[in-house]
């Protein structure tokens, strides 16, 4: 279907903040279809526990596509325990080269509490500058807000929550119903 006949899904802002030995990933709950909010309480930040590891992942994009990617990530993490970067690189390689996975439209922010990555379908595994990452419709707003607060005395969770609040006040595809997950290094 073309964008003219089906307006497409919108509505995600995910931010990851790493500060003082703690990583927080926060995501809003809004899902929109064109100009209509169809759900306001979606959970786009999840804990994964492959092989006993504690991983937090947030996703932007198609929910079904994101879940397919999260399943693949769990498989990669089970194959490479304790090696988040390697698992993310292996996922990105598969995503870039596999004909089925190439069609998936999503992005991920992934952390184990020590490392923080953005994983894309273009084959990128990015470790963000300034220990802040953001994706989705309001991602640029949340990213700018969080970066501006990094040199304050706020902790990682306070920065993530305030950045999401700012993004929700600017981006019509972002709301204030947050899911927040925290991991210590």
Binding residues for Na(+): 168, 171, 174
Active-site position among 12, 41, 120, 152 = 12
d(CA 178, CA 34): 21
Enclosing H/E stretch for 119: strand 116-119
Instruction: Kindly list the distances between the CA atom of residue 4 and the CA atoms of 1, 7, 8, 11, 33, in Å, as whole numbers in the listed order.
Output: 8, 6, 9, 18, 13
- 12: annotated active-site residue: yes
d(CA 17, CA 102): 28
Annotated binding site: 168, 171, 174
Dihedral (CA of 167, 169, 172, 177) sign: positive
The catalytic residues are: 12
């Amino acid at each position: 279907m073309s964008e003219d006949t089906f307006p497409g899904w919108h509505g995600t802002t995910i931010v990851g903040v790493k500060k003082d030995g703690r990583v927080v990933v926060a995501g809003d709950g809004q899902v929109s279809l064109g100009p209509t909010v169809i759900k306001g309480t979606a959970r786009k930040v999840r804990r994964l526990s492959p092989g006993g590891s504690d991983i937090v992942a947030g996703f932007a994009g198609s929910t079904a596509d994101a879940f397919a990617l999260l399943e693949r990530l769990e498989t990669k993490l089970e194959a490479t325990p304790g090696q988040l970067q390697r698992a993310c690189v292996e996922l990105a390689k598969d995503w870039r080269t596999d004909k089925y996975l190439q069609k998936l439209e999503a992005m991920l922010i992934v952390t184990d509490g020590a490392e923080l990555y953005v994983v894309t379908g273009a084959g990128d595994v990015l470790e963000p500058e300034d220990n802040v990452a953001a994706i989705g419709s309001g991602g640029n707003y949340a990213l700018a807000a969080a970066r501006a607060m990094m040199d304050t005395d706020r902790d990682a969770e306070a920065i993530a929550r305030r950045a999401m609040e700012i993004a929700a006040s600017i981006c019509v595809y972002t709301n204030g119903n947050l899911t927040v997950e925290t991991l210590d290094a």
